[in-house]
Structure 1
C-alpha cells in the first residue's frame, strides 16, 4: 500500500473516531449548562461578586401508546393517546460572598440544586360513540346508548434535590 493511501486511510479513520467520540456526550447530555460571567464586574468594581450558574433541561418527546380496542365499544379506549415527555427541572448553582462585619475577609452562602429528571404524560382523551356493537337480536343493527367522554389527566413524576451551605472563603 502506498504511503499516501495509508495516510489518507489513517486521516479518515481518525475523523470517524473523533466524530463518534464527540457525538456520544452531546447526545447523552440532558441539560445545557449556562453560566453568568461576572468576572469583569468583579475586577471593575474591585469587590467579590456572586457566582451564578444554571442547567437548562432539553425536553424529549417519546412515542405515545396506541389506542386500545375493547370489545363492546365502537371506538378505541384512548382516542387521543397521551404523549410521554421526558426532560428535567432546571438546576441552579449560586454562591454569594458574605463579608465579615468585624474583620477583613469573606464567607459564602451557596445554593446547589442540580437539574433533576422529569417524566410527564400529556393529557389524553377517551370517547365512545352513542351506538353499541351490532346486536344479532335486532337483525344486526346497533342499539343506542349514552355517549361517553373522559379526559385522561396529565401526570408528572420527579424527585427534586437541593443543598444550602455556608462556609469560609468564596
Structure 2
C-alpha cells in the first residue's frame, strides 16, 4: 500500500471515529430527561398568569453484578444468583407560581423545587450451600453430611431526596 493511500485511509478512519464520538458522547452524558409542561397557550387564551411547571425523569443504568465468591469449606460458591445493581434517580419537579404581593412589594413568586436525586438499588440475590462438606482427609477423602443452607440476599434501596422552597421577586 502506498503512503498516500495509507494517509488517506488513516484520515478517513480518524474522521469516522471523531464523528461517532461526537454523536455518542452527548447521549451518554445525559442522566435525566427534562419534561417541560407547556402552559403558554392557556395563559394567552385566558389572559392569566399561570405557574411554570417542569420536571426531570432520570434514566436508569444497570451495573455489573458481583460474581460468585468462592469460600473455603463450601462446595458451592456464595451468591449463586448475584445481586444486580441499578443506578438511576428519583424524578424531579419544579413549580414556580405567581404570588400577588402578599408578603410585600419585593415578593412576586413562590417556588418549589425538588431536583432529581440519585438512587442506587440492588436486586435480591440467592446464596445456597450443598448438604455436603468439603472432602475430609480424616475420612479417606470423603465428604461428610451437614444441613443444607439457603439464604436470600435482601434488596437494597439508597437515596437522599431534597427539596427547596423559596419566595422572591419576578416570575
Q: TM (normalized to structure 1)? A: 0.82
Aligned partners of 2:163, 2:133: CA distance in 1, in Å? 54
Change (3 A) 1:95 1:130: same
RMSD: 2.9
Aligned partners of 2:19, 2:141: CA distance in 1, in Å? 67
Matches within 5 A, 1:1-170: 13=15, 20-100=21-101, 107-170=108-171
Q: Displacement of 1:17 after TM fit?
A: 5.0
Q: In structure 2, the residue corresponding to 1:32 is in which secondary structure? A: strand
| CA displacement, residues 42-92 of structure 1 (integer Å, 9 cap, x when unaligned) | 111110111111110000101101000111111101111111111111111
Change (3 A) 1:19 1:129: closer
Q: Which shows bigger deviation, 132-141 or 17-26?
A: 17-26
Alignment length, in residue pairs? 161
Unaligned runs of 5+ in 2: 1-10
Aligned partners of 1:19, 1:134: CA distance in 2, in Å? 55
Aligned partners of 1:143, 1:16: CA distance in 2, in Å? 60
Q: Displacement of 1:16 after TM fit?
A: 6.6
| CA displacement, residues 101-160 of structure 1 (integer Å, 9 cap, x when unaligned) | 7xxxx8211111211222221111111111111223333322111111112122223332
Aligned partners of 1:63, 1:134: CA distance in 2, in Å? 33
Q: In structure 2, the residue corresponding to 1:26 is in which secondary structure? A: helix
Change (3 A) 1:109 1:130: same
- Aligned residue in 1 for 2:7: none
Runs of 4+ in 1 over 6 A off after TM superposition: none
Aligned partners of 2:100, 2:136: CA distance in 1, in Å? 83
Aligned partners of 2:98, 2:149: CA distance in 1, in Å? 61
Q: Displacement of 1:19 after TM fit?
A: 5.0
